[in-house]
Amino acid sequence: MAKYANPTLVGMLYERVGDKLFLIIYPFSIYFIITEKYLNILVFDALIFFTLVLLRHKLVFLDFYFKRIVIIFWVLTLTFSTISFMLFNQINYLYMTKAYVECNVLDIKEYSLVYRYKGYATFMMKSHESIKDDFTVIENLVGKIDSYEIGEENKYRVILKNNQEVDIKFNNYNQFTLFSLDTNLKN
């Protein structure tokens, strides 16, 4: 009865549209994930939140603990995002974790995607002894490298065999290296 006397915004929204809202949100989110080929942390958080809202109205147990569960979820998400941003300048802690596990723990990939946006992408690879070893891994991603020259601090201009240029910036850490490269190849 108290839930109807003082309804929340999410509760009122669910009262009006019910499960129809979720039939719209889920396909849109899945379409966004598939077309972008990248799970944005905001889309992930929205999917989890709307799943909790949907399950709240289906499971009495979840309805009773809904506020606590949502607060714990948001605190964990904000904490992990903040830590990832402060330490590595990356908000998407899901891809940071995935890349670290693939490159350093399981050692199944030489490099792994961490962040992608229009015009550039950030990858993680295991730390190497020399820059030559780093460029050997990067060759697998961009193609044969003809030469490279250092520009700014930790930023290189790489010229490929097909005369295209790529800008690559390195951020070295103890266990791994994050490298960002310009995905708009220049002639």
pTM for the full predicted model: 0.68
Helix (H/G/I), strand (E/B), else coil: 185: coil
Residues 18 and 51 in one domain: yes
Residues 80 and 115 in one domain: no
Q: Residue 178 belongs to what domain range? A: 108-182
pLDDT at 144: 82
Residues 70 and 24 in one domain: yes
Count of domains in the chain? 2
pLDDT at 10: 65
Report the pLDDT averaged over residues 111-136. 82
Residues 17 and 78 in one domain: yes
Report the pLDDT averaged over residues 54-66. 77
Residue 117 reports pLDDT greater than 50: yes
Residues 84 and 18 in one domain: yes
Which has the closest alpha carbon to 38: 136, 109, 128, 118?
Answer: 118
Residues 81 and 6 in one domain: yes
User: Per-residue confidence at 184, pLDDT binned at 50, 70, 90?
Assistant: low
pLDDT in tens, 162-173: 778 888 888 888
Tokens of 162: 């097909």
Residues 116 and 171 in one domain: yes
Which of 26-40, 74-88, 99-113 has the lowest average pLDDT?
Answer: 26-40
Owner of token pair 């979840």:
62
